[in-house]
Structure 1
Amino acid sequence: MRRIFGVLVVALLAAGCSPRGGDTPPPEATPQAAASSAAPRLAVDAIDHSDNVRVVANVPLEAPFDGDEAWGTDLAFQGDYAFVGNYAGFTIVDISDPEKPSVVSRTVCEGGQNDISVTGDLLFLSVDFPRDNESCVSKEGEEGAAGSWEGVRIFDVSDKKRPKYVTSIRTECGSHTHAVLPGEQTVYVYVASSGPVPDSATCPPPHSAMDVIEVPVDAPETARVAARPPVFGERPVEEGSEYENPRGCHDVTVYPERKLAAGACFGDGVLMDISNPLLPRVLQVVQDPNFAVWHSATFNNDGTKLVFSDELGGGVSATCDKSTGVQEGANAIYDLTSENTLERRGYFKIPRVQTADENCVAHNGSLIPVKGKDIMVQGWYQGGVSVWDFTDSANAREIGYFERGPLRPGLSLGGSWSAYYYNGFIYSSDITKGLDILEINDPLTDPAKSVKMTELNVQSQRSY
């Protein structure tokens, strides 16, 4: 998370971690959020969870992923396997028995943050730190230098015990995250990257385009940037806005069946038509006076709602404390009309106050597949894992949770990076603790246990 943890965080902290703008009055705080100060304080490394959540197992970070900054990141799933990203590479875990998970392989390939997806025999890693070359034995490069490399790496994981490096594709401003658009013959990868970097050879201003990588399934070594549509250049800009110039997107989520995509961009939420996968067309740009860093986007299953999250403080700040607003560092819930127009209905933030030493903010999550309901599980860094119901867009509420107490002295970054639901269990990638496996047993979520997925990349949504 080079640019998030670097330039962007500095700017946010200098502005008091809360850039504002706009004339739209925010909705009133919900009673649940207003009452959150009643949450108990946990001891260091203690574990707490709601009665309907069970701790199933943990796969700890071990060598070679036991360095100070070998942080766990995003997750993807396929069959009986979980693929766990890490700043130092990725791990493949056998989850055929979630009670007894086992590590199949660990692949060292430093790149930060190694946001991960898998489809078929191909695995993709996003690299948003400059490297001195594209290989897995590269070293950290110079920011913006002509010879540096950053972008997307591709692996063949047909043999889970021995993943094979295939190729790398340089993208403008690197790849902070990505979303795959699966296909039998061609896979498209939508690259989300932040920028620009002044006086840069690799990420020059302005940064208004999105790289689209085309990957032939039978010849992935020939993958290339096939399009760079300028989808973020035309946007409303308010006087004094932190994001006067386009800075790309932090995250892009695609929903191919509905021919829609949503971009959580710096200063904006962007709804796109992807009927032509190489030429996304902007349908609407929304802004929010309470949002600082538009982080991620999630459609509900029916494609009638869209949840945007705000990573206030860039993931390194304590924004779940008493002093931060209940609509800041939270989720905003939008209804998506039949005319593909977004209308904001409400907010959700975890109702458990964290200490001033715990980095906590809305982060990566996924839907829990329950017909007729809109339920999501989500990681909140040291705020833990939250299961929440937004069926009533204006009155979202938490129905279950899991969290740990503050980190041991000497550690400053931790907690759940991503929390996703897959085939009856919740998988949480904890930055310093490894892969947590949880189970929720609740009348609202129990119908999801009958839904069996063969593949899950959360940024590539499918209906169920």
Structure 2
Amino acid sequence: MTRSSRTRRVFSVLAAAAVATVTAVAAPAATAQSNAIPPVDAIVSSPNISQIANIPKQAPFNTQSAFGTDIAFTKGHAIVGNYDGFVIYDVKNPRKPEIVSQVLCPGSQNDVSVSGNLLFLSTDTPRSDDSCTSQPKPGQDPTAWEGIKVFDISDLAHPKYVSAVRTDCGSHTHTLLPDEASKSLYLYISSYAPAPELPHCQPPHDKVSIVKIPTDDPAKAALVATPVLFPDGGNVGGTNPDGTRRSATTGCHDLTSYPDKNLMAGACMGDGVLIDISDRLKPRVIERVQDNVNFAFWHSATFNNEGTKVIFTDELGGGGLATCLPKFGPNRGADGIYDITGSGDDRKLEFRSYFKIPRENAATENCVAHNGSLIPVQGRDIMVQAWYQGGVSVWDFTDSANPQEIAFWERGPLSATQNITGGSWSAYYYNGYIYSSDIQKGLDVLDLRDRRTNPAKGVRFDEFNPQTQPHYGRR
């Protein structure tokens, strides 16, 4: 979700304690027989996917403004961010997930990643300090704080706050990159939207912030580099041919690293970039593309397993707009599929096609391309993806020019009369099942049963951060 559309909510205490198991196993979803928009909250799906569990948001995260956000996975647990903190679920039995702990720590978006016994949390709203009891402050206040927080999760039932690092313009999202040689971790912080009146978010802001965390002493986490990716300032923004606004580039929204390939893909508001990260502290942009016809806001990126393609998403409307309507057509608020051609510094991003879910949504449903991950099937390129109230889509882009949806699951609108921000924020495949963080409805677990994706059932990851892509299968 873009920075301008964030909501703000305040809690004043830190809670990190085991809570009672709250599991609601869903009834079988009805199979969609047409493109008819389902009634409010009604579940429809293709025959090859079904919901097997749901845990609604629990107090104090059960308010409409406490958005559920991104997910990271570790040791059979799903850690789900929330604008007010994060929740740890035990998902070793996907049909009976349990809440292990909830940590109250306001500061949207609270994107999460995990490595070993460490959890990282993004804060992208100005706060009075770096604690979990902070209060909101105006961004113009020079004492306001935004950045990255570090927690010790060696006891998943009782996470402990360790340290924090301020970063310019906060931390909207972050991307983890391990460095085994130095026994450290690097976090690439994505942030944007500078303004002259913001003392900690001054223009120009054409960079990323890199934070180093020594794994044996995470309290010494520190900002170590701020490389500039757009020395020319990036896309200047403007108006697309259909009259919609196109974002200027003032930083990046999301970065996805592929450590095995020494590559990173950047979705940077008005630009899509391919980055060489052989030198972790000196990332080099080796290719850059723009789409000044159909893209409004380059939001996120996903490589295929071979590192020969990148999917870029366009978050038209900032996540709050109903863009799955006929008037927006099939190419707006969609995915852009790019093949990586050439080699070395001569690699190019070559556009092949767009993909957008083929179902019309209601005018009250925020719906646009959002976060997803690969389904690990050797020899094919298949992705599961969140579309907010457009639900969860599984699609095959093995043929880059002819992507095809192979499964979907969604709820009807939250309301028949008003656009309430909701739906699947992130949908990821982990150890045989799809986990979806629904902004309003909590954690959904889906079972995908399809001959094309069944080989993925046997692939296991102890740890999985979707923005740090692993390589699976034969090398």
Scaled by the length of structure 2, what TM-score is found? Answer: 0.89
Could you tell me which residue of structure 1 aligns to residue 335 of structure 2?
331
Secondary structure of 1:4's partner?
helix
Give the Cα separation in 2 of the matches to 1:4 and 1:37. 38
Q: Is the 8 A contact 2:191 2:253 kept in 1?
A: yes
**Are 1:2 and 1:112, in contact at CA under 8 Å, matched by a contact in 2?**
no
Decide which of 381, 390, 403 is 1:383's aligned counterpart. 390
- How much has 1:317 moved relative to structure 2? 0.2
| Residues 1:165 and 1:305: Cα distance change in structure 2 (over 3 Å) | same
Matching residue within 343, 358, 363 for 1:356: 363
Which residue number in structure 1 is paired with residue 134 of structure 2? 138
Matching residue of 1:344: 351
Q: Give the distance between the partners of 1:109 and 1:244, measured in 2 at CA.
A: 30
What is the SS of the residue equivalent to 2:100? strand
1-side partners of 2:51 and 2:248: how far apart? 45
Over residues 194-219 of structure 1, what are the superposed CA-to-partner deviations in whole Å (9 max), with x where a residue is unaligned? 12123210101101111000000011
Structure-2 change in CA distance of 1:359 and 1:410 (3 Å): closer
CA deviation profile, 1:275-323 (whole Å, cap 9, x unmatched): 0011100101100121000000000000000000000000000000111
**Equivalent AA in structure 2 for residue 311 of structure 1:** E
Equivalent position of 1:297 in the other structure: 301
Shift of 1:234: 2.9
Identify if the C-alpha distance between structure 1 residues 54 and 76 changes in structure 2 by more than 3 Å, giving closer, same or farther. Answer: same
Q: Secondary structure at the match of 1:130?
A: strand
Task: Count matched residues.
Answer: 436
Q: 2:21 is matched with which residue?
A: none
In the alignment, residue 383 of structure 1 is paired with which amino acid? G
Alignment check: 8 A CA contact 1:42 1:404 kept: yes
Q: Counterpart in 1 of 2:158?
A: 162
Q: Which residue in 1 is equivalent to 2:18?
A: none
CA deviation profile, 1:109-162 (whole Å, cap 9, x unmatched): 001110010011110111111111110000111123211000111100000000
Q: Is residue 417–residue 429 contact of structure 1 (8 Å, CA) maintained in 2? A: yes
Partners in 1 of 2:461 and 2:195 — Cα distance? 40
For 2:158 and 2:236, the matched residues in 1 are separated by 51
Q: Which residues of structure 2 form unaligned runs of 5+?
A: 8-31, 240-244
Aligned residues: CA RMSD: 1.8
Does the CA-based 8 Å contact 2:169-2:191 persist in structure 1? yes
Which amino acid in 2 is paired with 1:334?
A: Y
Q: TM-score scaled by structure 1?
A: 0.91
Conservation of the 8 A alpha-carbon contact between 1:38 and 1:352: no
Q: Using a 3 Å threshold, how does the CA distance of structure 1 residues 380 and 239 change in structure 2: closer, same or farther?
A: closer
CA contact (8 A) 1:390 1:396 kept: yes
Between 1:291-300 and 1:402-411, the stretch displaced more is 402-411
Matches for 1:409-448 after TM superposition, within 5 Å = 412-448=420-456
Counterpart amino acid of 1:449? Answer: K
Q: Closer, same or farther in 2 for the Cα pair 1:100/1:62, shift >3 Å? A: same
Contact 1:112 1:129 in 2 (8 A): yes
Deviations 1:342-372 (A, max 9, x none): 1000010000110111000000000000001
**Which of 42, 45, 48 does residue 46 from structure 1 map onto?**
42
Partner AA of 2:194 in structure 1? P
Matched, 1:269 2:272: yes
Distance 1:281 1:419 in 2: 30
Cα pair 1:274 1:281 within 8 Å, conserved: yes
Which segment drifts farther, 346-355 or 404-413?
404-413
Q: Is the alpha carbon distance of 1:404 and 1:214 closer, same or farther for their aligned partners in structure 2, counting shifts above 3 Å?
A: same
Q: How many Å separate the matches in 2 of 1:238 and 1:345?
A: 24
Separation of aligned partners in 2, 1:388 and 1:279: 35
Query: CA 1:202 to 1:37, structure 2 compared with 1: closer, same or farther past 3 Å?
Result: farther
C-alpha offsets along residues 356-408 of structure 1, whole Å, 9 cap, x if unaligned?
11000000000000001000000000000000000000000100010000103
The aligned counterpart of 1:310 is 314
Amino acid at match of 1:3: R
Q: Which moved more, 1:428-437 or 1:60-69?
A: 60-69
- Equivalent residue runs for 1:400-411 within 5 Å: 400-408=407-415
Distance 1:158 1:80 in 2: 14
TM-superposition CA deviations, 1:72-117 (whole Å, max 9, x none): 0000001210001001100110011001110000010001110010
Q: Please give the alpha-carbon distance, in whole angstroms, between the structure 1 residues aligned to 2:314 and 2:296.
A: 6
Aligned to 1:5: 5
Partners of 2:339 and 2:349 within 8 A in 1? yes
Match of 2:288 among 269, 285, 288: 285
